[in-house]
Structure 1
Amino acid sequence: MRQMVGLVQRRGIFYFRRTIPEALRAGMPAVLGTAGPGIFDESAPVSLKGSRAGREFWVSLATRDEDEARSRARRLDGEADALIRVAKRHITLSAKPKISELDDTAIQGLVTTFRHRKLAADEARRRGAEPLSREAFDALGQEIAAREAELRDANARGDCAATHFDIDAMMTVLDAGLNIAFGSPADRRLYLAFVEAELEVMTIIRDRQSGATRPTPVLTVSDNPRSRERASRPKPEKADGPTPEQILEGWKRDQTPTEKTFYTFSRKVRRWTAFLAERDVTFDRASLSDASDWKIASLVERSAKSVSNDLYAVKAIYGWAVANGKCPVNPFSGLKQPRAAVKGQRRSTKRDFTDEEAVRVLTAARDRRGYRRWVPWIACFTGARISEICQLERSDIVSSKGNHYFRMTTEYDSEGEESQISDAKKAKKNLKNHSSKRFIPIHPRLIEEGFLDFVAACKDSDLFSDATPDRFGNRGGNATKVISRWVREKLGITDPRISPSHSFRHRFSTLCKNFNVPPEMRDRLMGHSSGEASELYGEDYWISTLSIEIRKLPVPSGLG
């Protein structure tokens, strides 16, 4: 089986596959039209079919050609986006009272918006960056004829189902903020009006298909019920407060975060301000209710951990802004973090590599070069983070009184020497915290494997110069992704509880606990802070002392 982004190939035929966000699965059947009979046959009004469990879209692309499959998949992916947007809006509006009656004025406004959507979509297809191919033009003509026949039949029989599950029709109603009761008089009147309106639209589209110029009418404020509602609201007073960008810049100058931290926090703030913009709320006027609604909306498509990280970052920015008089209140104060997947569990949900898995990774790594060869081995026998390993230099491999060790540091010179290092290079070497600066003895099995010979033969100052730096100059970022894909796709270790670039660290900690390495020495080897006041006094552990502990740790069973 050959797999690609968004595509799966089974027995030569390509399929489009996309997971439905968990929070939307319960509502997706209604969006797909499962409220009516015969929904799962090929005449259903949408081209994407979810399984009855509602877990994913799975559609045969009916081709063995990869390029054609990708072209068809892009179109389906756009439809999937639209369906997911509809499902999200359904969830948002479900708390509103259901409407059973609509007056003629409201229906006419909705019909005008619906007609504009249809004509604008057709015009965009014909006036895109590339002209329609002859095949696409002919297929469009067939699609128009089939749709017109369907609408004429529905109009003759008074059947509103022809537009009831149309994406443009659903989005028109949802954008207007209406929660119309299914099967109510308002529901039937409106969707029959949509049938009549689309029949009128088909006349214009047929003219366009024959070469006539029929421009899409401009949708005015008076035509759009949503715009009329917004226009009737009193305009908020012009905000005099600082912009989010100004607040971020002030926080950056004051707190001096790393480039990566600033980039990450800025992205989260932009996500938050985009949410506020939909509500016509400025950054400095946001309330606890806004923050709570953002949390709930984010959980629809993102994990609890990701949402929690967003809340933490934006709360920190507001904390600085309030302390410095830029905002009156912190809307995230008092907001509860989303409940984790494992309630009340403090321990990590990730697990160690088993001996069998460790042997599989280490054995396979022998056939690779550079960081791909040595990073898994070093991680296994030191418990170091991938980012720490990838930034090692030759001068970080040190020998003292017969003991070889790694020097985890942000310095670029040899031990005991001073040199002038450019700011550009300093950005490439980072440690997670102060406790991460440490010495780790080299395990005898690493020496036996030939690691010191590799170091001696290395011509560059960086041991792993083949690890391409990411946008922040860190070699560990891209290396982590490469190793993770290799472990999962090539070695077949797909258990989601395994973190390919971190499970060796988990394993190292477990071995330390079970082979009588004292907790304070385990913390020192792994770069953890014990929080004890004694850390502030005296020198660090001697390498000879740490070497005794590192030798206690066994080689994975079965490693040749």
Structure 2
Amino acid sequence: MNDMPYHPRLVKRGTVFWHRAAIPTDIRKTYPKTEETFSLKTRDPREALRLVRIEAARVDALFQAHRDERARLDAPALDTLTEEQVKTLADVVYATILAEDESERLRGFGEQDFDLYASDIDGVDEAARAIYARGAIPQFIPALFDETVKALNVNWRLKECSPTWPIVSRAFLAATIKATAAKRQRQAGDIVETPEVDVRGLKATVTTAQTITGLYELWKRDHVANGKAAKTVAEYKQKVDAFVAFLGHDDATRVTHGDVATFCDNLRHEQNLSAKTVNGKYLATIRTIYRLGKEKAVVFEDPTANAKVRVPKETRERSKGFTDEEARAILSAALDDPTKLGRMAEHNKLAIRWVPWICAYTGARAGEIAQLRKEDFLREHGFDFIVITPEAGSVKTAQYRKVPLHLHLIDMGLLDFVKTHPGGPLFYVPNDRKKSNGHKTSDNTRAKVGEWVRDVVGVQDKRIQPNHAWRHRFKTTARDVDIPQRYMDAIQGHDDGSASADYGENTMKALYREIQKLPRYLGC
């Protein structure tokens, strides 16, 4: 018959019972032991059960104390304390000394112990007065500060260079000197009450921890107010949610540099994301919201400040733009009978017909072309052009630009197609329900064209992007025909960052002249 009493932490080694507890997962990385295991020093099952219950409660208190201490250490260090805060802490120090003194007296003194205790009071008083007189900060003051705020369950940590330390030191020393005077009165038989300190006001000064999601919401508010892309809002939300899920909490003040580094390592090596994606997307997002938080004074530390993901230099084995053969294959296939595309939606068939050709002659982003509307095709001073504008949808630079049409596009019937269109978007059916999270219906169109390039045309080289490669090819071709850099940038919506670029205008006449230099794609 098994006489082993049950308790999840009770184990038997030989004939002796032991307490054994695994470290909780939330503190396992920082707790100083791998488990709390020790002998209960009894062979009696009933006694072991009684003891293990007591020890389990004690160990749980140790775990909670460790959590509280980690929360305090991970909280942002304070620059200063107010005069009222320092006074309240000093009052607590005074009351604590007298409470400890009262406990000693409740236990009682023998004659010899009473004299030794008086001598100890004199020694403490003498040392405290000497330090107080010299204005020094003794080594025990930071420890006493930590002990006091921990006892109050106040998550405070004062910066080492804080100008408040001398004030704290003098207040604590003064409290000690006053307490020794009160203890001397008690030694003489006088009645000195141990005061009760009202710390409610002190605790009320502790601000609620800022959340990581809250930092994101602050960024989102500014981003939307500034008219920036809704797509970025959805992208940032995904990155922030992933970070919070990884941490297992949403407290922005608890995040350390190590947390950020470990998150990046997890993305890199466990989730197999590229270094470029981790650095340019995930880390960049977390860094942006923390920097904004510091600007708005809702957080005081940026745990991403020294975080870095090293991005290896890209090994380039070919041009990022389409080769002549690839370009001809795509443009020729775009001219095929659309019935070959089967039951594909009509607007997607039209996109496959025109988006690659327009990209080839404008170097625009495929998404910018996929979102074109009938009203974006204009004629001015005898020149036909398109307007790429944020009003139609996402534009990476958030700036409108006019791009003249190459004569080959007009000869192929692009303007005739546009004239017969009833109005609105040319290549997608609007669906406003999908705009809330940054997704646009035109994104589906762009993706469909990319899939067609891969699956139907057969351009499957993963080293190039099926739509974006037109932008690289445009730049290469433009250099071949001596289109100046400033006109290339104006046509493609690039910004060279120079101050001179803001002076003067690139007229439609000049842009039209330059874009007609591009050779026609013949034989397609």
Q: Same fold (TM over 0.5)?
A: yes
Separation of aligned partners in 1, 2:476 and 2:404: 18
- The match for 1:327 among 293, 299, 304 is 299
SS at match of 2:66: coil
1:390 maps to 2:370: yes
SS at match of 1:524: helix
Separation of aligned partners in 1, 2:406 and 2:446: 22
Change (3 A) 1:229 1:291: farther
Deviation at 1:350, TM superposition (A): 6.3
**Alpha carbons 2:427, 2:445 under 8 Å: kept:** no
1:543 maps to 2:515: no
- The match for 1:443 among 398, 403, 406 is 406
Q: C-alpha deviations, 1:49-103, integer Å up to 9, x for none? A: xxxxxxxxxxxxxxxxxxxxxxxxxxxxxxxxxxxxxxxxxxxxxxxxxxxxxx9
Deviation at 1:230, TM superposition (A): 9.7
Deviation at 1:440, TM superposition (A): 1.1
Task: Specify the code of the residue in structure 2 equivalent to 1:506.
Answer: H
- The match for 2:444 among 470, 478, 498 is 478
Aligned to 1:25: none
Separation of aligned partners in 1, 2:28 and 2:439: 47
Task: Specify the code of the residue in structure 2 equivalent to 1:546.
Answer: L
**Alpha carbons 1:391, 1:476 under 8 Å: kept:** yes
Deviation at 1:335, TM superposition (A): 1.5
Change (3 A) 1:291 1:363: same
Within-5 A mapping of 1:19-168: none
Within-5 A mapping of 1:202-213: none
Change (3 A) 1:432 1:274: same
SS at match of 2:320: coil
Supply the RMSD in Å over aligned alpha carbons.
4.0
Separation of aligned partners in 2, 1:281 and 1:268: 13
Task: Specify the code of the residue in structure 2 equivalent to 1:555.
Answer: R
Deviation at 1:465, TM superposition (A): 3.2
1:429 maps to 2:393: yes
Aligned to 2:266: 297
1:259 maps to 2:224: no
1:248 maps to 2:228: no
Separation of aligned partners in 1, 2:287 and 2:489: 30
- The match for 2:390 among 405, 410, 420 is 410
**Alpha carbons 2:359, 2:470 under 8 Å: kept:** yes
SS at match of 2:494: coil
Separation of aligned partners in 2, 1:439 and 1:396: 9
1:234 maps to 2:66: yes
Separation of aligned partners in 2, 1:467 and 1:446: 25
**Normalising by structure 2, what TM-score?**
0.56
1:364 maps to 2:333: yes
Aligned to 2:282: 310
- The match for 1:520 among 472, 483, 486 is 486
Aligned to 2:424: 461
**Alpha carbons 1:370, 1:466 under 8 Å: kept:** no
**Alpha carbons 1:380, 1:504 under 8 Å: kept:** yes
Aligned to 1:376: 356
Change (3 A) 1:176 1:378: same
Deviation at 1:542, TM superposition (A): 2.1
Structure 1 ranges of 4+ moved more than 6 A:
227-230
Task: Specify the code of the residue in structure 1 equivalent to 2:332.
Answer: T
Task: Specify the code of the residue in structure 2 equivalent to 1:261.
Answer: T
Separation of aligned partners in 2, 1:370 and 1:243: 47
Separation of aligned partners in 1, 2:250 and 2:257: 12
Aligned to 2:50: none
Of residues 255-264 and 455-464 in structure 1, the stretch that sits farther from structure 2 once superposed is: 255-264
Change (3 A) 1:297 1:378: same
Separation of aligned partners in 1, 2:439 and 2:266: 34
**Alpha carbons 2:427, 2:442 under 8 Å: kept:** no
Separation of aligned partners in 2, 1:526 and 1:537: 18
**Alpha carbons 1:356, 1:558 under 8 Å: kept:** no
Change (3 A) 1:251 1:176: closer
Identity of aligned residues (%): 30
Deviation at 1:504, TM superposition (A): 0.8
Deviation at 1:405, TM superposition (A): 1.0
SS at match of 1:440: strand
Separation of aligned partners in 2, 1:310 and 1:104: 49
Q: C-alpha deviations, 1:152-171, integer Å up to 9, x for none? A: xxxxxxxxxxxxxxxxxxxx
Separation of aligned partners in 2, 1:323 and 1:553: 48
Bigger radius of gyration among the two? 2
Change (3 A) 1:230 1:522: farther
**Alpha carbons 1:468, 1:479 under 8 Å: kept:** no
Deviation at 1:519, TM superposition (A): 0.7
Separation of aligned partners in 2, 1:245 and 1:350: 41
Deviation at 1:254, TM superposition (A): 3.3
1:554 maps to 2:501: no
Change (3 A) 1:485 1:331: same
Deviation at 1:362, TM superposition (A): 1.2
Separation of aligned partners in 2, 1:515 and 1:555: 12
Deviation at 1:364, TM superposition (A): 1.4
Change (3 A) 1:232 1:400: closer
Separation of aligned partners in 1, 2:503 and 2:442: 32
Structure 1 alignment gaps of length 5 or more = 1-102, 114-172, 178-220, 412-427
Deviation at 1:531, TM superposition (A): 2.3
Change (3 A) 1:530 1:548: same
Change (3 A) 1:519 1:230: farther
Change (3 A) 1:247 1:231: same
Change (3 A) 1:403 1:331: same
**Alpha carbons 2:363, 2:492 under 8 Å: kept:** yes
Separation of aligned partners in 1, 2:431 and 2:467: 16
Task: Specify the code of the residue in structure 1 equivalent to 2:514.
Answer: E
Task: Specify the code of the residue in structure 1 equivalent to 2:495.
Answer: S
Change (3 A) 1:521 1:231: same
Separation of aligned partners in 2, 1:260 and 1:337: 24
Change (3 A) 1:491 1:234: same
Separation of aligned partners in 1, 2:324 and 2:422: 34
